[in-house]
Amino acid sequence: MRCHDTGWFKSSRSSAQGQCVEVRLTDHAVSVRDSKDPDGGDFTVDHRAWSAFLRHLTAPDATG
């Protein structure tokens, strides 16, 4: 069985000034790292945590 792995790709929200993160999606997890320091480590979360993070980022501000 082959595991799905996108490899590292830059976020669509990365800026032209170099403020970039890279994301890697696999069947089991999502990893994120600083594109300016790819050997500096990354953090990895499961898909549920990643989805919750994205929902939080895109949710309307409840404080109005």
The structure's pTM equals 0.74
Task: Please state, in angstroms and as integers, the Cα–Cα distance from residue 63 to each residue in 14, 16, 46, 58, 60, following that order.
Answer: 27, 31, 29, 14, 9
pLDDT average, residue stretch 30-54? 93
Q: How far apart are CA 62 and CA 1, in angstroms?
A: 44
Q: What is the pLDDT of residue 49?
A: 96
Query: Per-residue confidence at 2, pLDDT binned at 50, 70, 90?
Result: low
Q: Contact, 41 vs 52, CB < 8 A?
A: no
Range 39-48 burial, b when 16+ CB lie within 10 A, else e: eeebeeeeee
Question: In sequence order, what DSSP letters do the residues of 22-34 get, joined into one string?
Answer: EEEEBSS-EEEEE
